[in-house]
Amino acid sequence: MQKTWFITGASAGLGRVMTEKLLARGDRVIGTLRRVGALDDLVGRYGNRLQTMTLDVTDTAAVRTAIGDAFKTMGRIDIIVSNAGYGLFGAAEEVSDAQIDRQIATNLTGSIQVIRASLPYLRDQGGGRIMQVSSEGGQIAYPNFSLYHATKWGIEGFVEAVAQEVAPFGIDFILVEPGPTATGFAAAKDDAVPMQVYDDTPAGVVRRGVADGSFAIKGDAAKCADAMIAAADAERPALRLALGSTAYRSITAALADRLEKIEQQREVALSADRS
């Protein structure tokens, strides 16, 4: 059965790979992009099954217009994929105020507004699915990615709450949590101006690891896209979808450690209740 998808950030990375795979299997896609013409090769191959829109998700008014136009054009959209985003690389003290504002506006506020703008249309059509591309970094944290993690932890909390709010309307969510994946993410990241004082700290270790290639990138973009599409096709997918061995191991270890630590605090926690 043919499905219709709306994908932000469709011109590169996981968004581009998903778009290619969905069109190849016969689905319809509306893909948003910031660079005009970035999907012209696919438009030429698939015709009107691919519609493109120029969109910067930091422009809330434009987000609402784009999503309204998409539903008007397609009639029904089965899956919204909120994928647009990038990484800000640098210790918290190194990044500039402008870099912080742009990171939050794109990864967090932009994703929130894509979801908010979609809800009335999904509710009116009797349901649908929203896939939010997060990261293993929505549950764990690396030094030198503090602002990126702030956006991913933030969007995960937002989605977990909204999923409960709209479940009665037949709307559900999938949070995608890839580990380091070969998608061009590193090349597209925004780098802070490094401070020498951080050279011999964990932030410096990660910075050198990314620069010299020793920071392992095990994820395969095509395999991740296949898993995302399969999850979106499933009748009752889990809220969270970890992708890649790095994500699986790092998230599992972080959750086990968190559980162990809170169990050690049980008596203190219970003692804080009113008598």
Query: 141, exposed or middle or buried, with CB in 10 Å at 0-12, 13-18, 19+?
Result: middle
What tokens does 227 get? 């898993």
List the beta bridge partners of residue 68: none
Task: Give 197-229 as a DSSP string.
Answer: GGTTSHHHHHHHHHHHT-S---B-HHHHHHHHH
CA distance 228 to 270: 40
CA distance 90 to 100: 11
- Which is the catalytic residue, given 111, 152, 198, 250? 152
CA distance 44 to 99: 36
Is 134 catalytic? The answer is yes
Element holding 149 (H helix, E strand): helix 146-166
- Which is the catalytic residue, given 134, 135, 146, 250? 134
- Rounded to 5 degrees, what angle do the CA atoms 208, 211, 213 make? 100
- Which is the catalytic residue, given 142, 148, 198, 250? 148
CA distance 176 to 160: 13
3-state SS, residue 271: helix
Is 152 catalytic? The answer is yes
CA distance 199 to 211: 13
What tokens does 83 get? 């994928």
Q: Which amino acid is at 269?
A: A
Q: For the beta carbon of residue 262, count every other beta carbon within 10 angstroms.
A: 10
| Positions marked active-site | 134, 148, 152
